[in-house]
A and B are shown apart, each in its own frame.
Chain A
């Protein structure tokens, strides 16, 4: 049996957050960028991470620098200010879970298992409730990963 994937979750309970900048994943993927180009830690790191403002601005100096949304990035870079993105997949702090991306990548879990087909999203939206522990445990048990509480909670 495989873990239920995209579209099976109760999406109506998962709001799509508004972002400070209207970033479009699809456009970037179609332009040939890989997920790990920006989320550098997704496979090798504990955290996937967000690209630095400097990195965004570096490309956009050449690519559509005058686009109004891109302008926001350029401004942040000029002011040396970080951008606060709204988290799309939220595990609340109260869960006290320490998720490790690279452990999952090592086990062959695909990005889309948790994040859905972000490549075809214009606005990043959650497809699974990543805070649903039952779903986590189900997958861990099926794949003989640890189901000890301390594997995640600490």
Chain B
């Protein structure tokens, strides 16, 4: 914290009372002779008047911005400081729940190593604090000098903020922004386009299904909307009504909770989907409509069960049982996501899994698959600006921009997510980072523009459409921003203005309000004409007299909430309707099985996002670092999950340091031997090994992304492929003391087996 804070009129509680005391001591006021007074002997008068009583809790609604799920939260503030995050009981997505990452937003807000003032690389080569005006001018001058060599990387989830960046790009004259997002999200959209006809992530009605097959989707780990999906899972499985079957090579938390886990060979998920289709088609239980729709997409013959079992590496009996149970279920549902979509063949695998819903008649019915609909506020802010580019486009852009290029990175850390971009980064002329931390990318920046974290900013979010009901959620800041941090949307607008290409709004909030106002006008004008894409469902504007009142009412109410009536089936356009739908989908069963390098211990690497650190974002929070992973129980570091069978053969014990060698890099990390790992696979969590990102993340653990290569991409999706990577595994040594994995180890008994110790509960009559 710097002296700048004082001028902002904030209570300076954060600076520490001792520091303030020193000011008085120097002035010769109130010094007790020879005795250093303690904090408890002081009481601070706040600077500003407050409506709340001193020390009273004030709960403020906000939207969690830690992922794109859009959980509504309440933040407990006391004397203007945020203390605790709780789920809003009537939350649209989360109904009162919050996940571990969501809670930890407080430690992001109050992190001791946050960037809270603008910085610029000086003549010495070091970043030095500058004023906002200087920083913006430097950045804008660089952009204005070479707009066509400027690349924008936006990390925000889809929604109004991404729309603003698209508008920024179109107005300033740069190429469309690269939307930096999880690979499986990009792949899922493309798979959904192929299988369902709409390129939004589908909505899944888990709660009302009775049999859910999840092909790789880690819906209880860190995927899409874990709080919503967790609650839906609880409803699905309540009183053993329904069943969740997880098809995934790695034993994820979802697999651990599933009623059945099919640990198929990684990369064979699409093959399994085709094999299942074969069994279903042959079972005589498939309706004619479903059969026709499916066979139009997959005209080829599906593989038989023996071939499927062989390729997937599981018993044919288990596949047959799965098909039988699917065909008997009243409301079966198939989801696809996660590692199943992260290999080079991910789109084909995802589409094959999703297409099973056509066969099962699960599209658009209760307990089935719905279209991922939204109110379109990304496009409303974007105007007619082009769509954002997928993440892998960054590699091409960096190669094309060259030394005169300018890179604007907003709330993304591409260098951490894809270290293979490092060389191309070195060639970039000017790097401008909008960030709250010195993450791997920001370290390379020439200009650092500090941004507000979730709780400090105005929020306008379109939640992940996992419910199938559209919504726009809006919330005001809950606490004053730290230092000079600004809203990233406001920074984008200021940058455009400084570059001489101002957008029509002074700030992000005004942009959202203007989009709401336009939506009202369009809805009024459309009347009963439901086909106008600019119009909202008429019921949403009912009762509002004019646009101003509608905007006011919407922001006061915390956004626009759709209802279940707005759920709909994805609409597949007719193939002759001028769209670019292929006549038949790529058949994953037609692809040859991958072959590993001969003569070495070759494993398939499965990088995964744990519920602790996610894609790495959580790594700067001590709460999350010290949270034991629910399965391996490891805290703080990065580990490699090795199967008991493989460990016995290679002489690996838990804690031993192993080396994983890929084609572009090698990493060394401790092994954890688990009975749940599929032999031949090695799982490594993403999230460790940051170059900086604050004191709790710096140099801790290993960045498994280093093994990835920019050359390996998911075909047809524009995403870097993270799955199906072959690595060599070698045991190096017993760990040195400081290398030992931090295993939680505290337990009722130091044993793995289920403890038996039971007495009927006395009902509290003791």
Is there any pair of Cβ atoms, one from A and one from B, under 8 angstroms apart in the complex?
A: yes
What residues make up the interface of A, taking CB atoms closer than 8 Å to B?
17-20, 40-41, 44-56, 58, 76-77, 79-87, 90-93
A93→B40 contact, CB < 8 A: yes
Closest-CB distance, A68 to chain B (whole angstroms): 13
Assess the A81–B24 pair: CB atoms within 8 A. no
| Residues in A neighbouring B423, C-beta threshold 8 A | none
Interface size on B, residues (CB 8 A): 34
Contact residues in A for B21 (Cβ distance below 8 Å) = 84
A28 to chain B, nearest CB (A): 15
Sample of 11 A–B contacts (CB below 8 Å): A41-B56, A49-B53, A50-B54, A52-B50, A53-B45, A54-B49, A82-B11, A82-B12, A84-B42, A84-B45, A86-B30
| Residues B44 and A80 in contact, CB atoms below 8 Å apart | no
Give Cα distance in the complex from A39 to B29, angstroms: 24
Residue B47 is within 8 A (CB to CB) of chain A in the complex: yes
In the complex, which residues of chain A have a beta carbon less than 8 angstroms from the beta carbon of B7? 80
| Chain B residues whose CB sits within 8 angstroms of the CB of A17 once the complex forms | 30, 32, 41
Most central of B13, B49, B54 by chain A CB within 10 Å: B54
| Residue B754 at the chain A interface, CB threshold 8 Å | no
Q: Is B6 an interface residue (CB 8 A)?
A: yes
Contacts A17-B41, A87-B40, A87-B41 given; does A82 touch B46 at CB 8 Å: yes
Q: Is the CB of B44 within 8 A of A85?
A: yes
Complex Cα distance, B13 from A92, in Å, reads 19
Given contacts A40-B53, A40-B54, A45-B54, contact A83 B44 (CB under 8 A): yes
Contact A54 B55 (CB under 8 A): no
Report the Cα distance A86→B17, complex, angstroms. 12
Residues of B within 8 A of A (CB): 6-13, 17, 20-21, 24, 29-32, 37-50, 53-56
CB of B42 within 8 A of CB of A82, answer: no
Which chain A residues border B37 with CB–CB below 8 Å?
86
Q: Assess whether A46 is in contact with B29, with CB atoms less than 8 Å apart.
A: no
Q: How far is the CA of A46 from the CA of B40 in the complex (A)?
A: 17
| Interface contact A20-B29, CB-CB below 8 Å | yes
Task: Give B50 Cβ to nearest chain A Cβ, in Å.
Answer: 7
Chain B residues with CB below 8 A from A84, complex form = 17, 20-21, 24, 42-45
User: Contacts A19-B30, A81-B6 given: A45-B42 contact, CB under 8 Å?
Assistant: no
B30 close to A52 (CB less than 8 A): no
Q: Nearest Cβ distance between residue B328 and chain A, in whole angstroms?
A: 55
User: When chains A and B are docked, how far (Å) is the Cα of A49 from the Cα of B6?
Assistant: 22
> How far, in Å, is A43 (CB) from chain B's closest CB?
10
Q: Are B9 and A82 in contact (CB under 8 A)?
A: no
Q: Are A41 and B45 in contact (CB under 8 A)?
A: no
Taking A41-B53, A54-B47 as given, write out 10 further A-B residue pairs in contact, using a Cβ cutoff of 8 Å, ordered by the A residue number: A18-B31, A41-B56, A48-B54, A54-B49, A82-B11, A82-B12, A82-B45, A83-B44, A84-B20, A87-B40
B48 touches A54 (CB 8 A): yes
Give, as a whole number of angstroms, the nearest-CB distance from B78 to chain A: 10
C-alpha spacing A81/B20, complex, angstroms = 10
Minimum distance in angstroms from B155 CB to a CB of chain A: 34
User: How near does chain A come to B43, taking the closest CB pair, in angstroms?
Assistant: 5
Query: Quick check: A86 and B54 within 8 Å, CB to CB?
Result: no
> Given contacts A41-B54, A46-B55, are A20 and B24 in contact (CB under 8 A)?
yes
Min CB gap B16→A, angstroms: 11
Contact yes or no, A92 B44, CB < 8 A: no
Q: Is the CB of B47 within 8 A of A82?
A: yes
- In the complex, residue of chain B having the shortest beta-carbon distance to the beta carbon of A43: B53
Q: A20-B24, A84-B17, A84-B24 are contacts. A51–B56 as well, Cβ < 8 Å?
A: no
Q: Do A80 and B42 form a contact, CB below 8 Å, given A20-B29, A41-B55, A50-B54?
A: no
B41 touching A90 by the CB < 8 A rule?
yes
- Smallest beta-carbon distance A71→chain B, Å: 14
Q: Is B43 a contact partner of A87 (Cβ separation < 8 A)? A: yes
CB proximity of A39 to chain B, nearest CB, Å:
8
